[in-house]
Amino acid sequence: MSEDRQPIPFAIETRNLTRRYGTLVAVDDLSLSVPAGSIFGLIGPNGAGKTTTLRMLAGLQEPSAGEIIFNGQRANGDWDHFRRQIGYMPDFFGVYEDMLVWEYLDFFARCYNLPAARRRQIVDELLELVDLAHKRDDYVETLSRGMRQRLCLAHALVHDPKVLLLDEPASGLDPRARVEMRELLRELGAMGKTVLVSSHILSELAELCDSLGIIEGGKLVASGPMAHLMRHAREGRVLQIRLLSDPDAARSLLSSQPGVGEIVTTAGALEVDFVGDDPATAALLAALIAGGHQILSFTESRGDLEEVFLRLTRGAEE
Ligand code: ATP
């Protein structure tokens, strides 16, 4: 008897979502499934259709065809209901510069008809969350770019949405501000929100996302859990092995094992090209130990997301 399987709850689904601008098909038959509570990265080069997809999901642009489904419910014209569940941060945004930081958030909280006491509370909580509490009474125009991005994110959170659509939230930020933004998104994930975040910088999403959709020319080239995509795209894995005992002796044992390809010595470690699944990898480690080699560390290098992307898009072209 097969086990009963619970259906995966998806916070966002699209079915054959399409958007045309005249003869240009900006989003082409896109079927995405974003698991509830996940951080999902939408990756693609400039002009791939990311912004158009997010704008349709935010109810700001009409699809030419296809369906959008939030938590199993079709978003069919009733956008007032769905907008309350969605926070959207566009790639380009204007801020009202001659307002104080707290006033800016309070203004948007008023738009959602939140009562005064609740507004005060939510504004303070959000300023804490995005690390702008110390700027509460400063003018928006005095904020740095990174601070403005964080303020804009706080704006998207004012109505406590379950789903966040963030269009290149780290664009234009310096490396440190990028790290801060990544930490903030991780925190939102830990709060149970579903985050759909776009970027054309692959490494930016590698550490952050549970799942990924790769989009090119409006089409979804690949999608799924990060680990599956990485495994699928790489023909094999690269193992990094550090030894206390003689690496040359380990080298000769390794090269006699099935699945082992090229072995390179770098900075005192062996880098081993290996084709094999998890049990085969465990067996390789066991063989080394049984052979009397003293192992300090045995790790799989994650590979480069850039390389994964290139392989997948190359596969799509072929
Ligand atoms: P980027 O990373 O540069 O922001 P993107 O992946 O977000 O790109 P979109 O902005 O969605 O891509 O654009 C997808 C395609 O649709 C592009 O070819 C773009 O030129 C085109 N496009 C977008 N908006 C319009 C519009 N209003 N009118 C005509 N074409 C448009």
Q: Give the nearest ligand 1 atom to 52 CA.
A: 11
pLDDT digits (tens, 9 = 90+) for 174-215: 888 888 888 889 989 999 999 999 998 877 787 789 899 989
Top-confidence residue, 238 or 57: 57
| Distance between Cα 217 and ligand 1 center (Å) | 10
- Over residues 256-267, mean pLDDT: 86
| pLDDT band at residue 4 using 50, 70 and 90 as cut-offs | low
What type of residue is 161?
Answer: P
Look at residue 287 in the predicted model and tell me its pLDDT.
94
Residue 315 pLDDT greater than 60, yes or no = no
Domain definitions of the chain by residue range: 10-231, 235-303
State whether the beta carbon of 90 lies less than 6 angstroms from ligand 1: no
- How does DSSP assign 74-99, residue by residue? E-SS-HHHHHTTEEEE-SS----TTS
What type of residue is 83?
Answer: R
- Over residues 49-61, mean pLDDT: 94
Q: How far is the C-alpha of 222 from the C-alpha of 13, rounded, in Å?
A: 15
| CATH class of the domain comprising 10-231 | alpha beta
Look at residue 1 in the predicted model and tell me its pLDDT.
41
State whether the beta carbon of 48 lies less than 6 angstroms from ligand 1: yes
Look at residue 235 in the predicted model and tell me its pLDDT.
56
Residue 135 pLDDT greater than 90, yes or no = yes
CATH topology of domain 235-303: Alpha-Beta Plaits (3.30.70)
| pLDDT band at residue 125 using 50, 70 and 90 as cut-offs | very high
- Over residues 86-111, mean pLDDT: 87
Look at residue 3 in the predicted model and tell me its pLDDT.
47
State whether the beta carbon of 44 lies less than 6 angstroms from ligand 1: yes
Residue 167 pLDDT greater than 60, yes or no = yes
State whether the beta carbon of 23 lies less than 6 angstroms from ligand 1: no
Look at residue 34 in the predicted model and tell me its pLDDT.
94
Look at residue 179 in the predicted model and tell me its pLDDT.
86
Top-confidence residue, 81 or 183: 183
Q: Which regions of 252-318 does DSSP assign to beta strands (E)?
A: 260-266, 269-274, 295-301
At residue 120, the 3 state secondary structure works out as: helix
pTM for this one?
0.77
- How does DSSP assign 140-158, residue by residue? GGGS-HHHHHHHHHHHHTT
